[in-house]
Structure 1
Amino acid sequence: MTSWNHTVVTYFQFLPFSTIPEIQGSLFCLVLFMYLSTLVGNMLIIVITMVDAALHSPMYFFLKNLSFLEIGYTTSTIPKMLVNFLAKRKGISFLGCATQMYAFSLLGITECCLLAAMAYDRYVAICHPLHYMTMMSWNKCFLLSVLSWLIGVLVALGQTTSIFTLPYCGPNRINHFFCDLLPLLKLACVDTYKNEITTYIIAVLFIMVPFLLIVVSYVQILHTIFKIPSAEGKRKTFSTCSSHLVVVTLFYGSGIATYLRPKAFYSSSSNKLLSLSYTLMSPMMNPLIYSLRNKEVKQALKRLITKPGLELHPLIQWLSRASQETPHFRNWLKNCDLGAMIRPLTVCPFDSSQMKPTEGTERGNHSLLTKFVLSGLSNHPELQHLLFFTFCLIYTITIIGNLLIFMVTVHPTLRMPMYFFLRVLSFLDISTASIIVPRMLINFLSEDRSISYIGCATQLYCVIFLAATECYILAAMAYDRYVAICHPLRYAIIMNSRVCLSLVLLSCCSGNVVSVVQTAWVFTLPFCGPQKINYFFCDIPPLIMLSCTDTSLYEKQIIMATVLVIFTPFCLILVSYACIISSILKISSLEGRHKIFSTCSSHLTVVTLYYASGTLIYLRPKSSNSQDTKKFLALIYTTIIPTLNPLIYSLRNKDVKGVLIKMIHELRKI
């Protein structure tokens, strides 16, 4: 490879968090405990704010988003750190490093903006209480949240691009536990002065500007509080924003100390500790801060724990009897929602009663319905608890299986494009299941199965985005197999890290465009009633049936879009496999054919399952439509396929099985 090539370094190596080998096992256990505490704590915050009607306010809508960000924030760095505690070769691929940095930057910048939005919410609540519901409407909350995410996406994309277009010729040892800006800049083999200036400017703009907005908000809040005559009134008013203030102090304190301190005070060891404080300590502490310092959350938690017992199905009566002496565990088990941690943008309904048009609402208003009601999978009450535990188990297996695939494929021996795409596929499967199953689990136990208008639109957008993106990712994986089998000598050149990253970004952008257009088409229709969706999530066909206008034109547009989304990548997959089969048939030995075809058999199985269920749902004739059949088919691609994918790729792949066995042996040594 010549010296002008900027991709001489194909992977980076992390230096150990500690140079003392004897404490690696202890550090692994400590960080794992803190990471699990972070997941459980933030998941609990999301569950409480979703289930308890008293917490259906803008403040707790933002808190749900914050908890989701904290989970994503830690998950982008800590699992790799845990793997490195056990691995002998503590490395990460060039593409994996770029992906980690992008995810970390995206979630960090989004959290900065979201904390500013939460400060604005507290400012309006305290300084303009009479106008609070008008100024902080659900639409405005949703827009503030989306704006925070959009800023995070743009800034993260710009920063990641500027860092990874630099030439890295060696050394490749990162003195950190994740791919961060400052340690990476040190490894570039050119002058990085301009990049450092750009990094500082971005840090000032997107760390200090939201921070200044928070400061201005709290100056106004304090000014208003000082006008209250009684000390008790001042204390009560300030207590509504004290939790947020503590979280802001922890997050911004460590962030500013890491990225905006002078070079003279920079030290790799102190930088690691500061990074650990805002990547792990802050996310772990936030649920405690918001539960211990917030009476409403504590009361909601108490109501959740002391909720009256539910009549369990006979098959699980033994579980209830076994936990009689641990009532807190029993009540938690009955009310737990294992998937809510990944579903941030759910807006809860204003009222659980049947909605009626209010005075001043005209019939022509297209937003007459403010909520929908999901009918669910079954109307038989005696099956609800059995279904709850069944899908709770399926969802848990989906999360564990795909996370395991994610952790296994970051192993040094699996640093190939095929496994990079597999990691992306696992992330999409986790997200698809998490958008649908948590809400379904809540509806199994709740009498109120309503979902707000904005919540339904958000769910539909996410489902379409993830499904369309997965279609394109499966096509990219087919192209990868085509290059590997038909052009093996040029594989490393054709499928380089930039091409792989470009294919993933193109898939996400295509999915986003399709999702925005289709969601906009559906939710510009007038919905005047009825409000009951005969489905277990917000999907296009059942929503169109509720519209009070002629939808024939919309149906034609949606069918055309579906054909483009499903059949365009499917045709690319067919062309790829036609070329692959042609190349395989040219091989003389039967054993050689078998070995080569086995490298793409897992992908072919996943494609068959995914496209078959999608085609049967969205492209079969209306005359053959049966709602129960459609529910069953939708279950296949939203819950069953994400559960089966890790099994298909692990049981049918020797490399994955080999690395998994190695990891198990490493764990046994601790």
Structure 2
Amino acid sequence: MELLMLEGASISFSQRSNQTWEPDRPVFFIIQGLSSLGEMKMVLFVIFLLGYLVILGGNSMILFVTLSDSRLTSPMYFFLQNLSFVDLVYTTTTIPNMLAGFLMDRLTISIPGCFLQMYCFHQLAVTGRAILTVMAYDRYLAVCNPLRYTAIMTRSVRMLLVTGAWSFGLFCTLPPTAVAYLRPYCGPNMVRHGWCDLSSVRTLVCADTSMDNVMSLSFAMVALLTTGVLILTSYFLIAASMYRMGVAERLKAFSTCAAHLTVVSISYSAASFVYISYRVGNFSSEVRIIVSVLYSALTPFLNPMIYSLRNKELRMAIRRTLVCFRPAAMSTVKAIST
């Protein structure tokens, strides 16, 4: 009954001269989330909150260290800064809103806020993959053209590559989001997802959305195939170059690419698993939401750990930063105690 009242409250009606009734656009959407899980909600709330704090802490540390340590001047760390920033904003777009849904009976979001969240989520997802593609090109240059690496990867080139990554995300996500926003919404306003997901919101459209589905699928395929093919091409050329190297050079080249290759493998494997499971398995909406959250948080959660473990230079920089903070923290404690 409460749900029906909320849904009914979101739709206003205007009476025309011919005495027919036509619904207007809803003023807000209701995010279903995981409201049907009962006591399990608090368990998931704690798990997702801890995971989100790790994402914030790990990526913030990467950002701070790469920006403040003068020894980390390689172009790789510039791209890693951008990747950590994207991961921070990407998870902040959805997880805090979803955590709020655990603590509320009904989570609502305005129509503009819903589509802003939708655009940011999808745009940052594509931009993250584009930055991984740029990093693959960077690794290709470092392995295959080490003598010209510094001359090619200048500051202007780095800025151009990162701008291209953000522009690619804009190109692939703005048209489907804009079309979805302009569609008529006149019926139910319950979004059966943890946030304003494009496919979930589209089910609420009061019109034929077959062309919308084709357009969204086309842009999604462009985003995935373009980045995937470019990354595979970069690593194919790297592998061909490594084949002609000696054992010592081969090991050094592999260590140069290990962290990025691990991140790319996890990211695309998780995406493939989610895509296949959505179309093969007959899962409930709650299971789909949990899978979506885990998928969207997996790479931002693991990225700082992978790069810290695989990159000795970065690991040493983090250690130096923590050592510098320790005396400051001790002096602060002593000042408070006195």
Shift of 1:191: 2.0
- Residue identity matched to 1:62: F
3-state SS of 1:152 partner: helix
- 1:252-401 equivalence runs, <5 A: 252-258=268-274, 263=279, 265=281, 267=283, 268-307=285-324, 317=331, 319-320=333-334
Q: 1:8, CA displacement in angstroms?
A: 2.5
Q: Map 1:8-407 to 2 at 5 A.
A: 8-17=25-34, 19-230=36-247, 232-258=248-274, 263=279, 265=281, 267=283, 268-307=285-324, 317=331, 319-320=333-334
Letter paired with 2:127: T
How many angstroms does 1:18 deviate by?
5.7
What amino acid maps onto 1:255 in structure 2?
A: A
- How far apart, in 1, do the equivalents of 2:312 and 2:263 lie? 17
The secondary structure found in structure 1 opposite 2:53 is: helix
**TM-score using structure 1 length:** 0.45
Residues 226-625 of structure 1 mapped to structure 2, 5 A cutoff: 226-230=243-247, 232-258=248-274, 263=279, 265=281, 267=283, 268-307=285-324, 317=331, 319-320=333-334
Aligned to 1:556: none
Contact 2:278 2:288 in 1 (8 A): no
Q: Tell me how far 1:119 sits from its aligned partner.
A: 0.5
Asked if the contact 1:116/1:210 (under 8 Å) is kept, the reply is yes
Q: 1:320, CA displacement in angstroms?
A: 4.4
Code of the aligned partner of 2:101 = N
Distance 1:238 1:168, change over 3 A: same
Corresponding pairs, count = 319
Gaps of 5+ in 1: 324-670
Distance 1:310 1:27, change over 3 A: closer
Corresponding residue SS for 2:33:
coil
- 8 Å Cα contact 2:90-2:125 kept in structure 1: yes
Q: Normalization by structure 2: what TM-score?
A: 0.86
The verdict on how the C-alpha distance between 1:11 and 1:265 changes in structure 2, with shifts beyond 3 A counting, is: same
Unaligned runs of 5+ in 2: 1-12, 15-19
The answer as to whether partners of 2:33 and 2:195 remain within 8 angstroms in 1 is no
Give 1:146 deviation, angstroms: 1.2
- Provide Cα deviations, 1:194-239, integer angstroms capped at 9, x if missing partner: 1111111000111211111001001111111122221x43222112
Residue type matched to 2:176 in 1? Answer: Q
Q: Give the distance between the partners of 1:273 and 1:260, measured in 2 at CA.
A: 15
Cα distance in 2 for residues equivalent to 1:67 and 1:6: 44
Offset at residue 92 of structure 1 (A): 1.5
Code of the aligned partner of 1:236: K
Partners of 1:15 and 1:309 in 2: CA distance: 45
Question: Which residue in the other structure is 2:7 paired with?
Answer: none
Q: Whose radius of gyration is greater, 1 or 2?
A: 1
- Shift in Å, 1:249: 2.1
Is the CA contact (8 Å cut-off) linking 1:254 and 1:275 kept in structure 2? no
Secondary structure of the structure 2 residue equivalent to 1:102: helix
For 2:59 and 2:87, how far apart are their aligned partners in 1? 7
Please report the RMSD computed on the Cα atoms of aligned residues, expressed in angstroms: 2.6
What CA deviation, in whole Å up to 9, does each residue of 1:620-653 have, x standing for no partner?
xxxxxxxxxxxxxxxxxxxxxxxxxxxxxxxxxx
Cα shift at 1:269: 4.4
User: Counterpart in 2 of 1:390?
Assistant: none
SS at match of 1:170: coil
Q: Tell me the secondary structure at the aligned position of residue 299 of structure 1.
A: helix
Please state how far the C-alpha of 1:169 moved relative to its aligned partner.
2.1
Equivalent-residue separation in structure 1 for 2:152 and 2:293 (angstroms):
37
Report how far residue 298 of structure 1 moved: 1.0
SS of 2:253's partner is: helix
Question: In 2, Cα distance between the equivalents of 1:308 and 1:271?
Answer: 42
Distance 1:320 1:136, change over 3 A: farther
Q: How does 1:618-633 map to 2 (within 5 A)?
A: none
